[in-house]
């Protein structure tokens, strides 16, 4: 039965060689390095249009705003969504499913906007629409959303008159909600960026030579903690056997960005696999991942969500810590977990976006459907055999999306602790 394989083997060697040659070439060309996507005009237009169509009406109505004025005098955080050119961007809910989009005194894609008019038209424009609540890009608190100058604000109030000035409210929550809303094109982009940053991280792990590579030689946010929780972060610390190394790296397309992480363990002499305590901490990572996955829903605020997660963690025998620091006063038998599920994708800052976290203004924002964020959580696992207070630490950082079904991973999350020999 082996006849034909042998008879044809000689001829096929040449074909095999060719096949192998091409099969090496082609996959490398296609798959060896994901490139960060280019913000093609078509893609930008699609994203902007999608957000105008499916996000804008909801966020304006949820925030009970019927006119949103964004005064842009230079490049700002809404370049990505609105366009880069200065002007006065006005969105008006005139009923029906759609929001009217106008730009006064600016240059934009005419296919995306309904009205282009000179800035001098502002007063008349507002009066014609008689809005009840006007959101403007200012805040009463220190905030990155406060992007209008005082001069512009005063000038605007003067132009639209007292009647409408009284109706002005800060647009921070509206803006944060708008930034947090995702269309499917952004969802697809998010997943691709996650794959790119994962590939970058894997590339960095490949470079590590224990005893030689310094943390500063590795690209990204690179950290190692000892059993007492002392951290080396991007320093000249040389990677040693027994180290648990975390690497975070990012990928972005223009202002759409994300970052995720990987974990590696450097084998000690004589070790061929992860030692038991490292395997244990990984198991905790998976158990807690499942707890988070099952208990996060769209529609709750970040703080409401956090309460639920804390409860579930404690029911499962963990200790929740509100800082990323081992709590020496807590039950020394219990593993401690810190959570910082911050937004990713389009954010002005992690603080000013929906956030399931103990801190930040964003805690009070609702988690919207298709919210892109990270499962960033830190496990501090006591290792009693090493002494009181000694613990292992890992940081998990994976991109996720919340849908009607709960939390989904748009790209493969970290699959395990990588072994570095």
Site residues for another protein per CB under 8 A? 1-13, 15-16, 19, 30-31, 34-35, 37-38, 40, 42-43, 45-46, 50, 53-54, 58, 97, 111, 183-185, 187-192, 195, 369-370, 401, 403-406, 408-413
User: Strand, helix or coil at 359?
Assistant: coil
Find the shortest distance in angstroms from Cβ 55 to another protein. 8
Find the shortest distance in angstroms from Cβ 115 to another protein. 17
Smaller CB separation from another protein, 51 or 225: 51
Smaller CB separation from another protein, 195 or 300: 195
From the DSSP assignment, how many helices (H) and strands (E) are in the chain? 10, 18
The Cα 81–Cα 130 span in angstroms is 25
CB 379 within 8 A of CB 284: yes
Find the shortest distance in angstroms from Cβ 12 to another protein. 4
The Cα 378–Cα 50 span in angstroms is 35
Find the shortest distance in angstroms from Cβ 145 to another protein. 25
Chain centre to alpha carbon of residue 151? 34
The H or E element that residue 278 is part of is: helix 276-295
Smaller CB separation from another protein, 209 or 412: 412
Smaller CB separation from another protein, 159 or 396: 396
Smaller CB separation from another protein, 330 or 369: 369
Within 13 Å and on the Cβ side, how many CA atoms surround 56?
Answer: 26
- Rounded to a whole number, what is the largest CA-CA distance in the chain? 96
* Residue 286: both structure tokens together: 């998976």
User: Strand, helix or coil at 358?
Assistant: coil
Residue environment code for 44-63, b if the CB has 16+ CB neighbours within 10 A, otherwise e: beebbbbbbeebbbebbeeb
Find the shortest distance in angstroms from Cβ 364 to another protein. 23
Smaller CB separation from another protein, 349 or 403: 403
Find the shortest distance in angstroms from Cβ 30 to another protein. 6
Chain centre to alpha carbon of residue 404? 19
CB 357 within 8 A of CB 303: no
Find the shortest distance in angstroms from Cβ 419 to another protein. 17
CB 392 within 8 A of CB 383: yes
Smaller CB separation from another protein, 99 or 266: 99
């Amino acid at each position: 039965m082996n006849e034909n394989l042998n008879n044809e083997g000689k001829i096929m060697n040449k074909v095999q060689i060719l096949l192998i040659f091409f099969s090496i070439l082609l996959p490398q060309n296609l798959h060896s390095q994901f490139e960060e996507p280019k913000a093609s005009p078509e893609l930008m237009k699609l994203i902007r249009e999608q957000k105008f169509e499916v996000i804008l009406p909801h966020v304006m109505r949820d925030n009970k705003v019927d006119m949103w004025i964004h005064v842009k005098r230079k490049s700002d955080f809404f370049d990505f969504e609105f366009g880069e050119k200065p002007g006065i961007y006005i969105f008006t809910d005139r009923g029906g499913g759609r929001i009217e989009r106008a730009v006064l005194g600016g240059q934009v894609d005419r296919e995306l906007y309904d009205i282009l008019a000179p800035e001098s038209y502002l007063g008349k424009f507002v009066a014609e629409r008689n809005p009840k609540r006007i959101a403007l890009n200012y805040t009463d608190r220190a905030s990155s959303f406060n992007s209008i100058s005082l001069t512009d604000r005063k000038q605007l109030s003067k132009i639209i008159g007292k009647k409408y000035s009284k109706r002005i409210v800060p647009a921070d929550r509206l803006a944060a909600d708008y930034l947090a809303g995702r269309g499917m094109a952004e969802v697809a982009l998010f997943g691709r960026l996650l794959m790119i940053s994962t590939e970058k991280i894997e590339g960095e792990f490949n470079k590590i030579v224990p005893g030689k590579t310094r943390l500063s030689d590795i690209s990204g946010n690179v950290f190692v903690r000892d059993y007492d929780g002392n951290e080396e972060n991007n320093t000249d610390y040389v990677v040693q056997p027994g180290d648990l190394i975390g690497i975070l790296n990012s990928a972005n397309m223009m202002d759409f960005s994300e970052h995720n992480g990987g974990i590696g363990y450097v084998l000690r002499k004589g070790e061929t696999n992860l030692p038991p305590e490292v395997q244990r901490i990984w198991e905790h990572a998976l158990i807690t991942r499942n707890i988070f996955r099952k208990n996060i829903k769209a529609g709750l605020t970040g703080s409401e969500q956090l309460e639920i997660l804390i409860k579930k963690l404690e029911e499962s025998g963990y200790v929740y810590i509100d800082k990323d620091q081992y709590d020496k006063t807590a039950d020394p038998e219990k593993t401690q977990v810190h959570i910082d599920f911050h937004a990713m994708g389009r954010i002005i800052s992690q603080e000013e976006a929906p956030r399931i976290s103990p801190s930040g203004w964003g805690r009070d924002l609702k988690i919207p459907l298709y919210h892109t964020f990270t499962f960033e959580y830190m496990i501090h696992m006591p290792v009693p055999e090493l002494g009181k207070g000694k613990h292992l630490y890992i940081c998990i950082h994976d991109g996720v999306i919340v849908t009607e079904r709960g939390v989904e991973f748009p790209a493969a999350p970290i699959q395990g602790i990588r072994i570095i020999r």
